[in-house]
Amino acid sequence: MQSWLEKGCDKINPPAHSLVLEEVRVVLKYRHCDGNLCIKVTDDVVCLLYRTDQAQDVKKIEKFHSQLMRLMVAKESRSAAMETD
Amino acid sequence: MVLLESEQFLTELTRLFQKCRTSGSVFIVFNTDDGRTKPVPRKGHIEGFEPADNKCLLRATDGKKKISTVVSSKEVNKFQMAYSNLLRANMDGLKKKDKKSKNKKSKATQ
């Protein structure tokens, strides 16, 4: 399993979209006591992980999270949705 | 694992976040949901089963309590707005960017 830490949340975007949607899972882990947030996107072959402790990243991560959710829920228009992104 | 309606899931998720403020983590996982209720047999396939591809399964846990919900393409818009607001409101314990503003101030004084 290849795993790497992305320097910016925008960098995680294109590689995440290339993963096969049927087998992908997204994990979000939030620790308030330690003040950090971690988002992981994986299809059990490739694993993309992004950790942060900056408040400014919350909005980006939440936006990215929503995008992924919309992609998963979209029907055969999935490929069209990915192209527009 | 408790399967809830979307609204109930959001309420319970808020509670999970509030419970974990002093210690612990909140894990949120989501993947696509086929709508399958039976395990796939090794040989052949399940008869009369059409895999659905317009649903996603959302799960949340604090390590002890588990909750989940299924979101379909019909509810996604409404659910997403509420869900995004929830995340933004609860994930407020991260560091605010102060260093840059402090550097700017010190540069200005020099």
Q: Which tens digits make up the pLDDT trace of B1-47?
A: 888 999 999 999 999 999 999 889 999 998 888 888 888 888 877 77
Cβ count near A13 (within 10 Å): 18
Domain of B7, CATH number, reads: 3.30.720.10
Specify the pairing of strand B66-72 against strand B2-4: parallel
Specify the pairing of strand A2-5 against strand A46-52: parallel
Tokens in use for A47?
């694993």
> Is B108 among the domain residues?
no
The helix (run of H) or strand (run of E) holding residue A36 is strand A36-42
**Nearest Cα to A27, choosing from B59, B63, B74, B103?**
B59
> Is B55 among the domain residues?
yes
> Is A34 among the domain residues?
yes
**Nearest Cα to A70, choosing from B39, B4, B7, B56?**
B56
| Count of domains observed in chain B | 1
**Which residues on chain A are in Cβ contact (under 8 Å) with B24?**
31, 33
Tokens in use for B58?
């959302």
Q: Is the ipTM of this complex over 0.85?
A: no
> Is B58 among the domain residues?
yes
With CB atoms and an 8 Å threshold, state whether A35 touches B24: no
Residues on A contacting B at a C-beta cutoff of 8 Å? 21-22, 24-33, 35-37, 52-59, 62, 65-66, 68-70, 72-76, 78
Q: Contact, B57 vs B33, CB < 8 A?
A: yes
Q: Kindly give the interhelix angle for B76-90 and B6-19, rounded to the nearest 10 degrees.
A: 10
Domain of A43, CATH number, reads: 3.30.720.10
> Is A65 among the domain residues?
yes
**Which residues on chain A are in Cβ contact (under 8 Å) with B30?**
25-26, 68-69, 72
In angstroms, rounded to a whole number, what is the distance separating the alpha carbons of residues B13 and B83? 9
**Which residues on chain B are in Cβ contact (under 8 Å) with A54?**
94-95, 97
> Is B13 among the domain residues?
yes
| Count of domains observed in chain A | 1
In angstroms, rounded to a whole number, what is the distance separating the alpha carbons of residues B58 and B63? 15
Q: Which tens digits make up the pLDDT trace of A9-46?
A: 445 555 666 666 677 889 999 999 999 999 998 888 88
Q: B18: domain range?
A: 1-37+50-79
Q: A31: domain range?
A: 25-71
> Is B95 among the domain residues?
no
* pLDDT of A84 higher than 70: no
- Which of B9, B31, B79 has the highest number of chain A CBs within 10 A, making it the mutation to test binding with A? B31
